[in-house]
Amino acid sequence: MTEAQIDPRILRAPILPRSFYARPTVQVARALLGKILVHDRLGPGFGAERRAAGRIVETEAYLGTADPAAHAYRGVTTRTRVLFGPPGHAYVYLIYGMYNCLNVVAEAEGTAGCVLIRAIEPITSLEGSGSGPGRLTRALGITLKHNGQDLTRGPITIREPIDPEAGPTAVFETAVSPRIGIRQAADWPLRFFVRGNAHVSRSPRRIS
DNA sequence: GCTATGATCATA
DNA sequence: ATGATCATAGCA
């Protein structure tokens, strides 16, 4: 049985501060590309195989009350409350009865806005693919119970890679496209991904 | 209480 | 093109 070796870069990677998230949503969506998403299932322990991590290679911005495709479009509800809360928290929801989607709350408290994490490039060995929003949460063990959690505290954190010269996506070009799978505001250019990266999702655009 | 609706994915 | 499967929203 081969123990998966953790890339030591994630052990030293500093957690992104709240100020990173307290910016316009589109800025946050672009800035999240290349950052490292970590789920430490044992907290600050040393259980190496319990730590799952990947590099973010695809995101989508959802612009709150100004965006017909956003959950926050119709204002505060039980579900969307976290979107209007302080930035740097996780917004997790269940879609199609089977998939959890992980979003990051952006903008100042009181203003809704979030970034959907759509794909990661594995750093640790993952159980399954990290390509696609439903698959990456399954691979990292992220569920509804993580909704509202503070991403500056963990166990889910997003980190700055310590050595930007290392790794296959360290130097990259950001590509832009319409968002995947929505019907409202279907042509808004709010999807961002690492051009040419093999782990970017290839979900078909929903039609009709 | 009830019903419609998905920011998905796999299979065909 | 279809189906699996369920939390949430909107309405009565």
DSSP letters for A119-157: EEEESS--SS--BSHHHHHHHHT--GGGTT-BTTTSSEE
Nearest to A3 by CA among A175, A125, A103, A107: A125
Q: pLDDT for A91-143, tens place per residue?
A: 999 999 999 999 999 999 999 999 999 999 999 989 899 999 999 999 999 99
Distance, in Å, from the CA atom of A156 to the CA atom of A201, rounded to the nearest integer, reads 22
Nucleotide nearest to A77 (CA to C1'): C9
Q: Are A193 and A174 in contact (CB under 8 A)?
A: yes
Q: Which structure tokens are listed for A152?
A: 């500056």
Higher-pLDDT residue of A44 and A18 is: A18
Q: Which of A4-13, A50-59, A68-77, A182-191 has the lowest mean pLDDT?
A: A4-13
Nearest to A48 by CA among A5, A105, A2, A107: A5
Q: pLDDT for A173-197, tens place per residue?
A: 999 999 999 999 999 999 999 999 9
What DSSP character marks residue A183? S
Q: pLDDT for A65-84, tens place per residue?
A: 999 999 999 999 999 999 99
Whole-number Å distance, CA A166 to C1' C2? 43
Query: Up-side HSE of residue A110: CA atoms within 13 Å toward CB?
Result: 1
Read off the pTM: 0.91
Cis preceding linkage at A155, omega within 30: yes
Nucleotide nearest to A93 (CA to C1'): C7
Whole-number Å distance, CA A67 to C1' C8? 19
Q: Which structure tokens are listed for A91?
A: 């917004």
Q: Name which CATH class applies to A3-192.
A: alpha beta
Give the pLDDT of residue A55.
95
User: Which residues neighbour strand B (beta carbon < 7 Å)?
Assistant: A 60, 62, 69-72, 91, 94-99, 101, 103, 114, 116, 129, 132-136, 179-183, 201, 203, 206
* Domain range summary for chain A, segments of one domain joined by +: 3-192
